[in-house]
Structure 1
């Protein structure tokens, strides 16, 4: 396995955090998309799930974010 690091340009995302189960992520992403579109943001791609902690982190201390690219 190899790691590739590349530079990306600036991007804007609509972001919401919470528990990262499949069902919860799906629900939050749909809610976030509707909210962004209501506020006149254009969704320009698929969501990304950022899981920011190792698996042994206790439930209440985990940081997970659903990110949707916008214009």
Structure 2
């Protein structure tokens, strides 16, 4: 049983490291892509999105404070 556990851990670690290295490579590629062309959303759109999120947040807090069951 112990041997099986050790083998399974080794396999898991191997796949995890492989996946992690893949994620890191993708992250680097994405970073490079954004360094080359930085696209920032226009400030008006940013303000609108933030406003909507803020309103949703307030509504959720109000709803939770009412304790509707």
Same fold (TM over 0.5): no
With structure 1 as the length reference, what TM-score do the two structures score? Answer: 0.29
**Structure holding more helix per residue:** 2
With structure 2 as the length reference, what TM-score do the two structures score? Answer: 0.30
Q: Structure with the greater relative contact order (CA < 8 A, sep ≥ 6): 1 or 2?
A: 1
Look at both structures and tell me which one has the larger radius of gyration over its CA atoms.
2
